[in-house]
A = this chain, B = another copy of it.
Amino acid sequence: MHTDAGIVLRALADPSRRAIFERLARAEAPVKDLTAQFDISQPAVSQHLAALRSAGLVSERREGRLVYYRVAPQGLRPLVDWLAHYRSFWSERVERLDALLEELDE
């Protein structure tokens, strides 16, 4: 099937981690920039990045002493797939709603 959406959900559930992810979605950044931007310590940032990384949501690129992180767009796939799994359910609801509206027309 598909990889577990739970891992992605759990990674994005934390506000700090989600904020970092959203920040990286705008542009890649080294850890020091993130540390300067958010009001948590550098180790906290690194720990969040490690969590995002093991969830497949970010990737890293080393350049000298700096480690640039950027979002890994395909990391959101399990979540989107999980949501798409309810497509049939939604369609059912829509169809039932359509049926109800047809009944009201008569």
- Interface positions of A (Cβ within 8 A of B): 5-6, 9-10, 12-13, 15, 18, 25, 71, 73, 76, 79-80, 83-87, 89-91, 93-94, 96-97, 100-101, 103-104
Measured CA separation A83–B96 after assembly (Å): 11
Cβ contacts under 8 Å, A101 to chain B: 90
Looking at the assembled complex, report how far the CB atom of A51 sits from the nearest CB atom of chain B, in whole angstroms.
Answer: 12
* Pairwise interchain contact B18-A6, C-beta atoms closer than 8 A: yes
| With A10-B13, A18-B9, A80-B83: A100-B104 Cβ-Cβ less than 8 Å | no
Beyond A6-B13, A13-B10, A93-B80, whether A73 also contacts B86 by CB under 8 A is yes
With a cutoff of 8 Å between Cβ atoms, the chain B residues found around residue A71 in the complex are: 89
